[in-house]
Protein backbone atom coordinates (compact mmCIF):
# COMPACT_ATOMS: atom_id res chain seq x y z
CA UNK A 1 0.00 0.00 0.00
CA UNK A 2 1.21 3.52 -0.82
CA UNK A 3 0.17 5.66 2.16
CA UNK A 4 -0.53 9.29 1.16
CA UNK A 5 -2.77 10.26 4.09
CA UNK A 6 -0.16 11.70 6.46
CA UNK A 7 -2.28 14.80 7.17
CA UNK A 8 -4.68 12.52 9.09
CA UNK A 9 -1.86 10.76 10.94
CA UNK A 10 1.67 9.91 9.90
CA UNK A 11 2.48 6.38 8.81
CA UNK A 12 4.68 4.43 9.06
CA UNK A 13 5.95 5.31 12.52
CA UNK A 14 9.72 4.94 13.03
CA UNK A 15 10.74 1.58 14.49
CA UNK A 16 12.19 3.35 17.56
CA UNK A 17 8.69 4.72 18.37
CA UNK A 18 7.17 1.25 18.33
CA UNK A 19 10.04 -0.14 20.43
CA UNK A 20 9.64 2.64 23.04
CA UNK A 21 5.88 2.04 23.41
CA UNK A 22 6.41 -1.68 23.69
CA UNK A 23 9.27 -1.23 26.19
CA UNK A 24 7.12 1.07 28.35
CA UNK A 25 4.30 -1.47 28.43
CA UNK A 26 6.60 -4.42 29.10
CA UNK A 27 9.18 -2.95 31.46
CA UNK A 28 7.83 0.21 33.12
CA UNK A 29 4.06 0.04 33.14
CA UNK A 30 3.57 2.32 36.18
CA UNK A 31 1.54 5.52 36.43
CA UNK A 32 3.75 8.65 36.22
CA UNK A 33 3.63 10.96 39.27
CA UNK A 34 1.42 8.60 41.26
CA UNK A 35 3.93 6.88 43.59
CA UNK A 36 7.59 6.96 44.62
CA UNK A 37 8.56 3.39 43.74
CA UNK A 38 11.20 2.83 41.10
CA UNK A 39 8.79 2.08 38.26
CA UNK A 40 6.69 5.19 38.95
CA UNK A 41 9.89 7.28 39.05
CA UNK A 42 10.94 5.82 35.70
CA UNK A 43 7.47 6.58 34.30
CA UNK A 44 7.76 10.22 35.47
CA UNK A 45 11.22 10.44 33.91
CA UNK A 46 9.82 9.25 30.56
CA UNK A 47 7.12 11.95 30.56
CA UNK A 48 9.61 14.63 31.66
CA UNK A 49 12.00 13.65 28.86
CA UNK A 50 9.26 13.92 26.24
CA UNK A 51 8.30 17.36 27.56
CA UNK A 52 11.95 18.48 27.44
CA UNK A 53 12.49 17.18 23.89
CA UNK A 54 9.37 18.97 22.70
CA UNK A 55 10.37 22.19 24.49
CA UNK A 56 13.77 22.03 22.73
CA UNK A 57 12.11 21.46 19.35
CA UNK A 58 9.94 24.54 19.92
CA UNK A 59 13.03 26.72 20.29
CA UNK A 60 13.88 26.14 23.95
CA UNK A 61 10.57 27.13 25.56
CA UNK A 62 9.83 26.49 29.25
CA UNK A 63 8.82 22.76 29.39
CA UNK A 64 6.34 23.42 32.23
CA UNK A 65 4.24 25.47 29.78
CA UNK A 66 3.64 22.38 27.60
CA UNK A 67 0.39 20.62 28.52
CA UNK A 68 0.02 17.10 27.14
CA UNK A 69 -3.38 16.33 25.59
CA UNK A 70 -4.77 13.36 23.63
CA UNK A 71 -4.97 15.39 20.38
CA UNK A 72 -4.78 18.81 18.74
CA UNK A 73 -8.57 19.06 19.07
CA UNK A 74 -8.44 18.79 22.86
CA UNK A 75 -5.59 21.33 22.96
CA UNK A 76 -7.58 23.82 20.84
CA UNK A 77 -10.67 23.38 23.04
CA UNK A 78 -8.58 23.97 26.16
CA UNK A 79 -7.04 27.10 24.65
CA UNK A 80 -10.31 28.61 23.43
CA UNK A 81 -12.54 27.66 26.38
CA UNK A 82 -9.85 28.25 29.01
CA UNK A 83 -9.05 31.70 27.70
CA UNK A 84 -12.20 33.36 26.37
CA UNK A 85 -14.82 35.17 28.47
CA UNK A 86 -18.31 36.44 27.64
CA UNK A 87 -18.03 39.61 25.56
CA UNK A 88 -14.72 38.59 23.92
CA UNK A 89 -14.39 38.65 20.14
CA UNK A 90 -12.13 36.33 18.08
CA UNK A 91 -10.73 36.80 14.59
CA UNK A 92 -10.22 33.62 12.63
CA UNK A 93 -9.94 32.62 8.96
CA UNK A 94 -12.13 30.89 6.41
CA UNK A 95 -9.53 28.08 6.11
CA UNK A 96 -9.97 26.69 9.63
CA UNK A 97 -10.57 23.08 10.61
CA UNK A 98 -13.73 22.23 12.54
CA UNK A 99 -11.61 21.80 15.66
CA UNK A 100 -11.45 25.63 15.76
CA UNK A 101 -14.78 26.47 14.13
CA UNK A 102 -16.96 24.14 16.22
CA UNK A 103 -15.66 25.30 19.63
CA UNK A 104 -16.09 28.91 18.43
CA UNK A 105 -19.64 28.12 17.31
CA UNK A 106 -20.33 26.51 20.70
CA UNK A 107 -18.93 29.54 22.55
CA UNK A 108 -21.43 31.84 20.83
CA UNK A 109 -24.01 30.72 23.42
CA UNK A 110 -21.78 32.33 26.11
CA UNK A 111 -21.72 35.64 24.24
CA UNK A 112 -18.27 35.04 22.70
CA UNK A 113 -18.39 36.16 19.07
CA UNK A 114 -16.05 35.59 16.16
CA UNK A 115 -15.43 36.80 12.62
CA UNK A 116 -14.16 34.50 9.88
CA UNK A 117 -11.85 36.51 7.63
CA UNK A 118 -12.40 35.35 4.03
CA UNK A 119 -9.25 34.03 2.34
CA UNK A 120 -8.53 34.17 -1.41
CA UNK A 121 -9.69 31.32 -3.71
CA UNK A 122 -6.14 29.92 -3.31
CA UNK A 123 -6.81 29.82 0.45
CA UNK A 124 -4.40 32.61 1.38
CA UNK A 125 -4.99 35.24 4.07
CA UNK A 126 -4.16 38.92 3.61
CA UNK A 127 -2.88 40.16 7.01
CA UNK A 128 -4.27 43.64 6.19
CA UNK A 129 -7.74 42.11 6.59
CA UNK A 130 -7.03 41.58 10.29
CA UNK A 131 -6.85 45.35 10.86
CA UNK A 132 -10.01 45.84 8.78
CA UNK A 133 -12.04 43.30 10.80
CA UNK A 134 -10.88 44.38 14.24
CA UNK A 135 -13.56 45.04 16.91
CA UNK A 136 -13.04 46.94 20.16
CA UNK A 137 -13.71 43.58 21.94
CA UNK A 138 -11.25 41.54 19.83
CA UNK A 139 -8.98 39.61 22.18
CA UNK A 140 -7.66 36.69 20.16
CA UNK A 141 -6.60 35.71 16.65
CA UNK A 142 -7.08 31.94 16.12
CA UNK A 143 -5.35 30.73 12.99
CA UNK A 144 -4.40 27.49 11.30
CA UNK A 145 -0.67 27.51 10.42
CA UNK A 146 -1.09 25.39 7.27
CA UNK A 147 -4.38 24.32 5.73
CA UNK A 148 -5.12 20.61 6.00
CA UNK A 149 -6.92 20.89 2.62
CA UNK A 150 -4.41 22.75 0.41
CA UNK A 151 -1.24 22.72 2.50
CA UNK A 152 -1.11 26.54 2.10
CA UNK A 153 0.79 28.40 4.83
CA UNK A 154 -0.60 31.40 6.69
CA UNK A 155 1.76 34.36 7.25
CA UNK A 156 2.10 33.55 10.94
CA UNK A 157 5.24 35.63 11.64
CA UNK A 158 3.63 38.74 10.14
CA UNK A 159 0.40 38.11 12.04
CA UNK A 160 2.35 37.48 15.27
CA UNK A 161 4.00 40.88 14.92
CA UNK A 162 0.64 42.49 14.16
CA UNK A 163 -0.99 40.78 17.16
CA UNK A 164 1.74 42.19 19.42
CA UNK A 165 1.32 45.68 17.94
CA UNK A 166 -2.47 45.52 18.46
CA UNK A 167 -2.25 43.93 21.92
CA UNK A 168 -4.05 40.76 20.79
CA UNK A 169 -3.31 37.14 21.66
CA UNK A 170 -2.40 34.68 18.90
CA UNK A 171 -3.45 31.00 19.00
CA UNK A 172 -1.97 28.85 16.23
CA UNK A 173 -3.30 25.45 15.14
CA UNK A 174 -0.08 23.66 14.24
CA UNK A 175 -1.73 20.35 13.33
CA UNK A 176 -0.03 20.30 9.91
CA UNK A 177 3.24 22.05 10.72
CA UNK A 178 4.66 20.89 14.07
CA UNK A 179 7.67 18.70 13.21
CA UNK A 180 7.53 19.75 9.56
CA UNK A 181 8.60 23.40 9.85
CA UNK A 182 10.76 25.26 12.35
CA UNK A 183 8.08 26.48 14.72
CA UNK A 184 9.42 28.64 17.53
CA UNK A 185 6.43 30.25 19.25
CA UNK A 186 8.42 32.93 21.08
CA UNK A 187 10.18 34.10 17.91
CA UNK A 188 6.93 34.10 15.90
CA UNK A 189 4.85 35.96 18.51
CA UNK A 190 2.61 32.94 19.14
CA UNK A 191 0.98 32.98 22.59
CA UNK A 192 -0.65 29.56 22.35
CA UNK A 193 0.29 26.69 20.06
CA UNK A 194 -1.81 23.53 19.69
CA UNK A 195 -0.27 20.53 17.99
CA UNK A 196 -0.48 16.78 17.47
CA UNK A 197 2.06 14.20 18.57
CA UNK A 198 0.76 11.77 15.97
CA UNK A 199 1.41 13.63 12.71
CA UNK A 200 4.66 15.51 11.96
CA UNK A 201 6.24 14.43 15.26
CA UNK A 202 5.81 10.79 14.21
CA UNK A 203 4.42 9.71 17.60
CA UNK A 204 1.38 7.48 18.19
CA UNK A 205 -2.28 8.49 18.10
CA UNK A 206 -3.58 9.71 21.45
CA UNK A 207 -0.80 12.30 21.83
CA UNK A 208 -0.95 16.07 21.41
CA UNK A 209 -0.08 19.24 23.30
CA UNK A 210 -0.88 22.86 24.06
CA UNK A 211 1.99 25.31 24.61
CA UNK A 212 1.04 28.47 26.53
CA UNK A 213 3.57 31.29 26.81
CA UNK A 214 4.74 32.19 30.32
CA UNK A 215 2.65 34.87 32.02
CA UNK A 216 -0.58 33.92 30.25
CA UNK A 217 -3.14 32.13 32.43
CA UNK A 218 -5.95 29.78 31.43
CA UNK A 219 -8.93 28.39 33.28
CA UNK A 220 -9.05 24.63 33.70
CA UNK A 221 -11.71 22.68 31.80
CA UNK A 222 -11.44 19.61 34.04
CA UNK A 223 -10.02 19.06 37.51
CA UNK A 224 -8.96 15.97 39.44
CA UNK A 225 -6.03 13.92 40.63
CA UNK A 226 -2.60 15.09 39.56
CA UNK A 227 -0.44 13.16 42.03
CA UNK A 228 0.59 16.52 43.53
CA UNK A 229 -0.87 18.53 46.50
CA UNK A 230 -3.27 15.69 47.25
CA UNK A 231 -4.13 17.19 50.65
CA UNK A 232 -6.16 19.94 48.95
CA UNK A 233 -9.49 19.77 47.12
CA UNK A 234 -8.40 22.82 45.15
CA UNK A 235 -6.72 22.21 41.79
CA UNK A 236 -2.92 22.80 42.04
CA UNK A 237 -1.70 26.13 40.68
CA UNK A 238 1.58 24.74 39.33
CA UNK A 239 2.04 24.05 35.62
CA UNK A 240 1.60 21.63 33.91
CA UNK A 241 -0.15 19.67 36.73
CA UNK A 242 -2.98 22.20 36.82
CA UNK A 243 -4.09 21.05 33.35
CA UNK A 244 -3.07 17.38 33.40
CA UNK A 245 -5.56 15.82 35.82
CA UNK A 246 -6.07 12.10 35.28
CA UNK A 247 -3.75 9.40 34.04
CA UNK A 248 -1.57 10.47 31.10
CA UNK A 249 -0.99 8.38 27.98
CA UNK A 250 2.48 7.49 29.23
CA UNK A 251 3.18 4.68 26.70
CA UNK A 252 2.16 7.09 23.93
CA UNK A 253 4.42 9.80 25.35
CA UNK A 254 7.30 7.30 25.49
CA UNK A 255 6.73 6.74 21.77
CA UNK A 256 6.39 10.47 21.12
CA UNK A 257 9.85 11.14 22.61
CA UNK A 258 11.31 8.77 20.03
CA UNK A 259 9.25 10.37 17.26
CA UNK A 260 10.68 13.78 18.18
CA UNK A 261 14.17 12.26 18.30
CA UNK A 262 13.62 10.80 14.81
CA UNK A 263 12.53 14.22 13.52
CA UNK A 264 15.61 15.84 15.08
CA UNK A 265 17.88 13.17 13.56
CA UNK A 266 16.54 13.85 10.06
CA UNK A 267 16.33 17.59 10.66
CA UNK A 268 13.20 19.69 10.31
CA UNK A 269 14.67 21.58 7.32
CA UNK A 270 15.45 18.32 5.50
CA UNK A 271 11.91 17.02 6.14
CA UNK A 272 10.33 20.26 4.88
CA UNK A 273 12.58 20.33 1.78
CA UNK A 274 11.73 16.69 0.99
CA UNK A 275 7.97 17.22 1.32
CA UNK A 276 7.99 20.46 -0.68
CA UNK A 277 10.03 18.83 -3.46
CA UNK A 278 7.56 15.93 -3.71
CA UNK A 279 4.59 18.30 -3.75
CA UNK A 280 6.14 20.63 -6.35
CA UNK A 281 6.56 17.60 -8.60
CA UNK A 282 3.05 16.28 -7.94
CA UNK A 283 1.47 19.69 -8.51
CA UNK A 284 3.43 20.23 -11.76
CA UNK A 285 2.61 16.80 -13.17
CA UNK A 286 -1.07 16.77 -12.14
CA UNK A 287 -1.60 20.19 -13.74
CA UNK A 288 -0.61 18.61 -17.08
CA UNK A 289 -3.20 15.82 -16.84
CA UNK A 290 -6.39 16.74 -18.76
CA UNK A 291 -9.52 17.18 -16.60
CA UNK A 292 -7.48 17.46 -13.39
CA UNK A 293 -8.05 20.58 -11.26
CA UNK A 294 -5.41 21.30 -8.60
CA UNK A 295 -6.41 23.56 -5.69
CA UNK A 296 -4.44 25.84 -3.40
CA UNK A 297 -1.45 28.12 -3.84
CA UNK A 298 0.35 27.75 -7.17
CA UNK A 299 3.64 28.61 -5.42
CA UNK A 300 4.16 25.25 -3.73
CA UNK A 301 7.10 26.51 -1.65
CA UNK A 302 4.45 28.42 0.33
CA UNK A 303 2.90 25.07 1.35
CA UNK A 304 3.56 21.96 3.39
CA UNK A 305 3.17 18.41 2.07
CA UNK A 306 -0.58 18.41 1.42
CA UNK A 307 -2.36 18.96 -1.92
CA UNK A 308 -5.97 18.74 -3.10
CA UNK A 309 -7.22 17.90 -6.59
CA UNK A 310 -10.30 16.73 -8.44
CA UNK A 311 -10.96 15.00 -11.76
CA UNK A 312 -13.80 16.70 -13.60
CA UNK A 313 -16.76 14.34 -13.92
CA UNK A 314 -15.64 11.90 -11.17
CA UNK A 315 -16.44 12.43 -7.48
CA UNK A 316 -13.59 12.59 -4.97
CA UNK A 317 -15.04 9.51 -3.27
CA UNK A 318 -14.92 7.56 -6.53
CA UNK A 319 -11.35 8.63 -7.27
CA UNK A 320 -10.22 7.67 -3.74
CA UNK A 321 -12.02 4.34 -4.06
CA UNK A 322 -10.35 3.52 -7.40
CA UNK A 323 -6.94 4.59 -6.09
CA UNK A 324 -7.43 2.34 -3.07
CA UNK A 325 -8.86 -0.74 -4.70
CA UNK A 326 -7.20 -0.73 -8.14
CA UNK A 327 -3.85 0.93 -7.36
CA UNK A 328 -3.21 0.34 -3.65
CA UNK A 329 -2.92 4.07 -2.93
CA UNK A 330 -4.42 5.58 0.27
CA UNK A 331 -5.68 9.18 -0.01
CA UNK A 332 -8.58 11.01 1.68
CA UNK A 333 -11.64 12.32 -0.23
CA UNK A 334 -14.44 14.67 0.88
CA UNK A 335 -14.40 17.69 3.15
CA UNK A 336 -11.53 16.79 5.54
CA UNK A 337 -13.39 18.26 8.58
CA UNK A 338 -12.85 21.70 7.02
CA UNK A 339 -16.05 22.67 5.13
CA UNK A 340 -15.24 26.40 5.32
CA UNK A 341 -11.92 25.80 3.59
CA UNK A 342 -13.70 23.97 0.76
CA UNK A 343 -16.19 26.86 0.45
CA UNK A 344 -13.20 29.20 0.16
CA UNK A 345 -11.43 27.28 -2.61
CA UNK A 346 -14.66 26.46 -4.48
CA UNK A 347 -14.89 22.71 -3.83
CA UNK A 348 -17.90 22.66 -1.47
CA UNK A 349 -19.92 20.46 -0.97
CA UNK A 350 -18.23 17.80 -3.06
CA UNK A 351 -14.78 18.17 -1.51
CA UNK A 352 -11.49 17.07 -3.05
CA UNK A 353 -9.05 14.20 -3.22
CA UNK A 354 -6.37 15.05 -0.65
CA UNK A 355 -2.81 13.74 -1.00
CA UNK A 356 -0.50 14.20 1.98
CA UNK A 357 3.10 13.03 2.16
CA UNK A 358 5.47 12.37 5.04
CA UNK A 359 9.21 12.04 5.58
CA UNK A 360 9.19 8.47 4.28
CA UNK A 361 7.22 9.12 1.06
CA UNK A 362 9.32 8.46 -2.06
CA UNK A 363 9.49 9.97 -5.56
CA UNK A 364 8.44 6.56 -6.94
CA UNK A 365 5.24 6.67 -4.86
CA UNK A 366 4.39 10.11 -6.23
CA UNK A 367 5.06 8.85 -9.75
CA UNK A 368 2.76 5.86 -9.13
CA UNK A 369 -0.01 8.25 -8.03
CA UNK A 370 0.38 10.41 -11.17
CA UNK A 371 0.27 7.33 -13.41
CA UNK A 372 -2.86 6.08 -11.60
CA UNK A 373 -4.61 9.46 -12.01
CA UNK A 374 -3.71 9.49 -15.73
CA UNK A 375 -5.22 6.03 -16.06
CA UNK A 376 -8.45 7.05 -14.30
CA UNK A 377 -8.75 10.05 -16.68
CA UNK A 378 -8.08 7.85 -19.75
CA UNK A 379 -10.68 5.35 -18.59
CA UNK A 380 -13.25 8.14 -18.13
CA UNK A 381 -12.75 9.31 -21.70
Q: What residues are labeled active site?
A: 337
Distance from C-alpha of 287 to C-alpha of 292, rounded to nearest angstrom: 6
The nearer residue to ligand PLP, 201 or 372, going by C-beta atoms, is 201
x/- string (CB under 6 A) for ligand PLP, residues 53-82?
------------------xxx---------
197-226 positions binding ligand PLP, by CB under 6 A: 208
Q: Quick one: 49 exposed, middle or buried, by C-beta within 10 A (0-12, 13-18, 19+)?
A: middle
- Residue 148 binds to ligand PLP (criterion: CB under 6 A): yes
The nearer residue to ligand PLP, 272 or 292, going by C-beta atoms, is 272
Rounded to the nearest whole angstrom, what is the least distance from the CB of residue 95 to ligand PLP in the complex?
9
Residues whose CB falls within 8 Å of the CB of residue 251, separated by 6 or more in sequence, listed in order: 21, 24, 25, 204
- Residue 144 binds to ligand PLP (criterion: CB under 6 A): yes
Distance from C-alpha of 366 to C-alpha of 3, rounded to nearest angstrom: 10
Residues 271, 193, 195: CA angle, nearest 5 degrees: 50
Strand, coil or helix: 92: strand
Distance from C-alpha of 277 to C-alpha of 360, rounded to nearest angstrom: 13
Distance from C-alpha of 37 to C-alpha of 13, rounded to nearest angstrom: 31
Alpha-helical (H) ranges within the chain are: 15-23, 38-57, 72-83, 98-107, 128-132, 156-166, 185-188, 250-266, 268-287, 316-327, 339-345, 363-380
Rounded to the nearest whole angstrom, what is the least distance from the CB of residue 291 to ligand PLP in the complex?
28
Count residues near ligand PLP (CB under 6 A).
14
CB 71 within 8 A of CB 220: no
The nearer residue to ligand PLP, 75 or 212, going by C-beta atoms, is 75
Rounded to the nearest whole angstrom, what is the least distance from the CB of residue 233 to ligand PLP in the complex?
31
- Please pick, from the candidates 173, 244, 275, 285, the single residue that binds ligand PLP as defined by CB under 6 A: 173
- Residue 361 binds to ligand PLP (criterion: CB under 6 A): no
**Signed CA dihedral, 275, 254, 53, 248: sign only:** positive
The nearer residue to ligand PLP, 77 or 226, going by C-beta atoms, is 77
Q: Which listed range, 101-109, 132-140, 171-179, 327-335, lies at the site for ligand PLP (CB under 6 A)? A: 171-179
- Please pick, from the candidates 32, 189, 196, 359, the single residue that binds ligand PLP as defined by CB under 6 A: 196
Q: Give the residue from 309, 320, 244, 245 showing the smallest Cα distance to 282.
A: 309
First to last CA, the chain: 27
Rounded to the nearest whole angstrom, what is the least distance from the CB of residue 6 to ligand PLP in the complex?
10
- Please pick, from the candidates 13, 65, 97, 332, the single residue that binds ligand PLP as defined by CB under 6 A: 97
- Please pick, from the candidates 124, 175, 286, 294, the single residue that binds ligand PLP as defined by CB under 6 A: 175
Q: Which listed range, 10-18, 42-50, 133-141, 169-177, lies at the site for ligand PLP (CB under 6 A)? A: 169-177
- Please pick, from the candidates 92, 150, 176, 316, the single residue that binds ligand PLP as defined by CB under 6 A: 176
Rounded to the nearest whole angstrom, what is the least distance from the CB of residue 72 to ligand PLP in the complex?
3
Q: Quick one: 139 exposed, middle or buried, by C-beta within 10 A (0-12, 13-18, 19+)?
A: middle
Residue number with the smallest Cβ distance to ligand PLP: 148
Distance from C-alpha of 250 to C-alpha of 248, rounded to nearest angstrom: 5
295-324 positions binding ligand PLP, by CB under 6 A: none
- Residue 5 binds to ligand PLP (criterion: CB under 6 A): no
| Interface with ligand PLP (CB under 6 A) | 7-8, 71-73, 97, 99, 144, 148, 173, 175-176, 196, 208
Amino acid sequence: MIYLDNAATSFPKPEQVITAISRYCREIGANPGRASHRLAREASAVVARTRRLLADLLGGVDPSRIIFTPSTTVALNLALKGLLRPGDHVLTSSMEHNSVLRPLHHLERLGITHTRIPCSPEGLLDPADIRRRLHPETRLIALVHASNVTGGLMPVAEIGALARELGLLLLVDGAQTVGVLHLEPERLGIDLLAGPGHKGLLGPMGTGFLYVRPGLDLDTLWEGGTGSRSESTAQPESWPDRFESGTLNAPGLAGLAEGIAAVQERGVEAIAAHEIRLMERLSRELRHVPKVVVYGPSRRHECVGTLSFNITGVTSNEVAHILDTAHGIAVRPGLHCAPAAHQTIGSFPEGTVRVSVGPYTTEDEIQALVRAVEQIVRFQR
